[in-house]
């Protein structure tokens, strides 16, 4: 039934010239491609599944769980870095871009992972970390030694000698991870720039040799069969050549805090867009040369303004860049106390800014930010998954969010390993630590939640694993996992792929959105973001007096799938979400 319906819808769309939610008819290629409607499941390899009992997740562990992804309905995954690394920033400090981190496995393990994923119909996207390498990378060692050809691989500077003879860094730029963004190198007797930890020196993208070296890296992994890349910290790639002091933000007097300056010379420079275009071309060329495999895509990580992110999709000259500039607004712009208007605004603003002909994307969580259950409260888990998975376009889920895993905020200072948390010290570490969101995946109620047989895991398992785990959620009558799975099933229907979209706040605390197409049954999502029960009338929003039939309801809902509801008086429990079919 699915294919014909999609074809009918496609046919009428292609002849209507109408703007769909995030997709237009002029963009038919993208429209029927594999990625614009996909759910990307982020795996944090260190914490997903340990196959050899050393307490650290690994590639064989991931491969052994790909069946789980497929059974859930996941068809694409992006993996946080798996490359050789001293693990100062847990893989975001790479010492060899073409080698697998030994504690994660071997190249053969990676090839097996790719093959298994392929057999299961799962695309694999790798994390590409171009802004900085590890200080243990041979490029950095050679650059530090001024070896010919490598002198300018990184951003070096003599610093400034003050009147009293003391040498200080060239400017006031702070690192994202606290402290000066400059570090003195004894060997080279110069400062080098590091926008993250001092063990992550920034590569110099004004040097064509660096660009070439990174192209080689991308081609290496493309030839191994990956479906694309998530590009890390892309807006940090370039710095203003003047290396001028940045103006103070006025937000803090702590000159070591990243908030101290307005990052006008060290972030979001126009050159970033040129690199994005360059990489897009590389991917498109590769896809064209290898049409037997799917389109290779780029997803970019930048906590940047809407205008910039819109330009990443496609600039004002119509040059295409990132397929999916990550939209982090559900992480950064709504909170537990946000009201319905905030949510609606959050969704609309992306759709308004996104240039026509592109796929929207919604990221609900990642390894750098608190989990949904911790940001919005455990009662919101199902509603937030409903929101994520019924909006038009691409959805990005962080591993464990399908179970409603909770941050392990009680981690002690001694257990803390995240570099920004270690940098700010024992008093403040809890405010910035990303460890709580990175604890091992909770598979079952056995030792270490089934993650590992080790006596000690790299981060402790959240003690709630005895109750909160996948196995328990599979056999329960209702569970977050089952809700998640039902939503993925629903996403397969044509209306979820091509339906027109509109969203409105119904009251201060309840909003609804609709996917519809003439002559097809619409899908309605309605969400109460308050801590109180709310009674709403959907008649006006639906514009016809119709009946709603529940498609997916939350774990604690009094409504069951298949149940009919009157649109004129719908009672929603606190934080409840419902997905209904309009009949
Ligand atoms: C963003 C990554 O998601 C984060 O985990 C990392 O620490 C920084 N970039 C630096 O690579």
Contacts of 19 (CB under 8 A, 6+ apart): 356
Phi, psi torsion values for 110, nearest 5 degrees:
-65, -45
Residue 20, exposed/middle/buried by CB under 10 A (0-12, 13-18, 19+)?
buried
Please answer whether residues 78 and 43 qualify as being in contact, where contact means their C-beta atoms are separated by less than 8 angstroms.
yes
- Which of 47, 196, 235, when mutated, tests ligand 1's pocket best, judged by the most ligand atoms within 8 Å of its CB? 196
Contacts of 400 (CB under 8 A, 6+ apart): 371, 441, 442
Centre of ligand 1 to C-alpha 232, Å, is 7
- Which of 232, 300, 438, when mutated, tests ligand 1's pocket best, judged by the most ligand atoms within 8 Å of its CB? 232
pLDDT confidence of residue 30: 52
Measured distance CA(92)–CA(512) in Å, rounded: 39
Q: Which of 268, 254, 340, 334 is nearest to 300 (CA)?
A: 268
Please answer whether residues 440 and 449 qualify as being in contact, where contact means their C-beta atoms are separated by less than 8 angstroms.
yes
Measured distance CA(320)–CA(280) in Å, rounded: 7
Q: What is 349-407 written as a DSSP string?
A: HHHHHSPTT---EEE---TTS--HHHHT-GGGHHHHHHHHHHSSSEEEEETTTTTT---
pLDDT confidence of residue 543: 84
Q: Whose CA is nearest to atom 3 of ligand 1?
A: 368
Domains of the chain in start order, with CATH, are: 2-131+208-405+413-487 (3.20.20.80), 138-193 (3.90.400.10), 497-582 (2.60.40.1180)
pLDDT confidence of residue 26: 40
Q: Whose CA is nearest to atom 11 of ligand 1?
A: 92
Query: Of all atoms in ligand 1, which is nearest to the CA of residue 434?
Result: 5
Centre of ligand 1 to C-alpha 42, Å, is 14
In this structure, what token pair is assigned to residue 86?
Answer: 């001293």
Q: Which helix (H) or strand (E) holds 274?
A: helix 271-289
Q: Which residues line ligand 1 (CB under 6 A)?
A: 89, 92, 129, 196, 232-233, 301, 367-368
Please answer whether residues 134 and 85 qualify as being in contact, where contact means their C-beta atoms are separated by less than 8 angstroms.
yes
Q: Whose CA is nearest to atom 5 of ligand 1?
A: 368
Measured distance CA(370)–CA(406) in Å, rounded: 8
Expressed in percent and rounded to 5, the helix, strand and coil fractions of the chain are: 35, 20, 50
Measured distance CA(144)–CA(167) in Å, rounded: 19
Centre of ligand 1 to C-alpha 473, Å, is 31
Centre of ligand 1 to C-alpha 129, Å, is 8
Centre of ligand 1 to C-alpha 369, Å, is 11
Q: Which of 140, 40, 147, 48 is nearest to 88 (CA)?
A: 140
Q: Taken in order 421, 426, 429, 435, is the CA torsion positive or negative?
A: positive
Q: Whose CA is nearest to atom 9 of ligand 1?
A: 233
Query: Of all atoms in ligand 1, which is nearest to the CA of residue 420?
Result: 7
Q: Which of 403, 368, 367 is nearest to 384 (CA)?
A: 403
Measured distance CA(334)–CA(336) in Å, rounded: 7
Q: What is 173-233 written as a DSSP string?
A: PBPTTSSBSEEEETTTTEEEE-SS-TTSPBB-TTSHHHHHHHHHHHHHHHHTT--EEEETT
Per-residue pLDDT of the chain in tens (583 residues, 90 and over written 9): 333 444 444 434 433 333 344 433 344 445 579 999 999 999 999 999 999 999 999 999 999 999 999 999 999 999 999 999 999 999 999 999 999 999 999 999 999 999 999 999 999 999 999 999 999 999 999 999 999 999 999 999 999 999 999 999 999 999 999 999 999 999 999 999 999 999 999 999 999 999 999 999 999 999 999 999 999 999 999 999 999 999 999 999 999 999 999 999 999 999 999 999 999 999 999 999 999 889 999 999 999 999 999 999 999 999 999 999 999 999 999 999 999 999 999 999 999 999 999 999 999 999 999 999 999 999 999 999 999 999 999 999 999 999 999 999 999 999 999 999 999 999 999 999 999 999 999 999 999 999 999 999 999 999 999 999 999 999 999 999 999 999 999 999 999 998 999 999 999 999 999 999 988 999 999 999 999 999 999 999 998 767 899 999 999 999 999 999 999 999 999 999 999 999 8
- pTM as predicted: 0.95
- The secondary structure of residue 473, as a DSSP letter, is H
Query: Which ranges of 448-549 does DSSP label H, i.e. alpha helix?
Result: 470-475, 480-491, 494-498, 539-542
Q: What is 119-148 written as a DSSP string?
A: HTT-EEEEEE--SB--TTSHHHHHHHTT-T
CA distances from 168 to 209, 245, 253, 574 (A): 29, 13, 19, 55
Q: Whose CA is nearest to atom 2 of ligand 1?
A: 232
Would you please indicate which residues are annotated as catalytic (active-site) residues? Answer: 232, 301
In this structure, what token pair is assigned to residue 33?
Answer: 């491609």
């Amino acid at each position: 039934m699915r294919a014909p319906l999609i074809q009918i819808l496609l046919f009428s769309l292609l002849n209507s010239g109408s703007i769909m939610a995030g997709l237009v008819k002029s963009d038919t290629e993208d429209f029927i491609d594999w990625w614009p409607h996909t759910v990307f499941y982020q795996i944090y390899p260190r914490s997903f599944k340990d196959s050899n009992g050393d307490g650290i997740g690994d590639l064989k562990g991931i491969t052994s769980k790909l069946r789980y992804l497929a059974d859930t309905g996941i068809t694409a995954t992006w993996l946080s870095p798996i490359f050789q690394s001293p693990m100062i920033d847990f893989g975001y400090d790479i010492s060899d871009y073409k080698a697998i981190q030994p504690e994660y496995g071997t190249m053969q393990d990676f090839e097996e992972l790719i093959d298994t994923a392929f057999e299961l119909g799962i695309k694999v996207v790798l994390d590409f970390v171009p802004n900085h390498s590890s200080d243990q990378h041979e490029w950095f060692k050679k650059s530090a030694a001024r070896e010919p050809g490598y002198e300018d691989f990184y951003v070096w500077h003599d610093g400034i000698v003050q009147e009293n003879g003391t040498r200080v860094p060239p400017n006031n730029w702070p690192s994202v991870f606290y402290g000066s963004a400059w570090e003195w190198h004894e060997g080279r007797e110069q400062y080098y720039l590091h926008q993250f930890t001092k063990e992550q020196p920034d590569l110099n993208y004004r040097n064509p040799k660096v660009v070439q070296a990174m192209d080689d890296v991308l081609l290496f992994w493309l030839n191994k069969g990956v479906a694309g890349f998530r590009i890390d910290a892309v807006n940090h790639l370039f710095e203003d050549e003047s290396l001028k002091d940045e103006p103070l933000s006025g937000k803090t007097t702590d000159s070591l805090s990243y908030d101290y300056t307005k990052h006008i010379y060290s972030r979001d420079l126009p050159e970033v867009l040129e690199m994005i275009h360059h990489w897009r071309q590389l991917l498109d060329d590769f896809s064209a040369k290898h049409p037997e495999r799917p389109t290779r895509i780029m997803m970019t990580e930048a906590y940047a303004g809407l205008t910039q992110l819109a330009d990443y999709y496609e600039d004002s000259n119509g040059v295409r860049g990132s397929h999916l500039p990550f939209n982090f607004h559900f992480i950064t712009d709504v909170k537990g106390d946000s009201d319905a208007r905030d949510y609606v605004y959050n969704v609309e603003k992306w759709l308004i800014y996104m240039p026509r002909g592109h796929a929207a994307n919604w990221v609900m969580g990642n390894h750098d930010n608190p989990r949904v259950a911790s940001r919005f409260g455990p009662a919101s888990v199902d509603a937030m998954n409903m929101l994520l998975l019924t909006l038009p376009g691409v959805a990005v889920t962080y591993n464990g969010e399908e179970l409603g895993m909770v941050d392990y905020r009680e981690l002690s200072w001694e257990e803390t390993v995240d570099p920004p948390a270690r940098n700010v010290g024992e008093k403040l570490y809890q405010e910035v630590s990303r460890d709580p969101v990175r604890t091992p995946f909770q598979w079952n109620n056995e030792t270490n939640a089934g993650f590992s047989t080790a006596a000690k895991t790299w981060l402790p398992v959240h003690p709630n694993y005895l109750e909160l785990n996948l196995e328990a959620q599979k056999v329960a009558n209702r569970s977050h996992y089952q809700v998640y799975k039902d939503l993925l099933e629903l996403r397969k229907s044509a209306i979820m792929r091509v339906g027109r979209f509109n969203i409105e706040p119904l009251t201060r605390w309840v909003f609804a959105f609709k996917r519809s197409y003439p002559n097809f049954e619409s899908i309605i999502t309605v969400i109460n973001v308050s801590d109180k029960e709310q009674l709403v009338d959907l008649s006006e929003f639906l514009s016809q007096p119709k009946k709603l039939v529940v498609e997916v309801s939350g774990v604690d809902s009094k409504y069951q799938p298949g149940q009919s509801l009157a649109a004129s008086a719908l009672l929603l429990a606190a934080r409840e979400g419902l997905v209904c079919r309009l009949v």
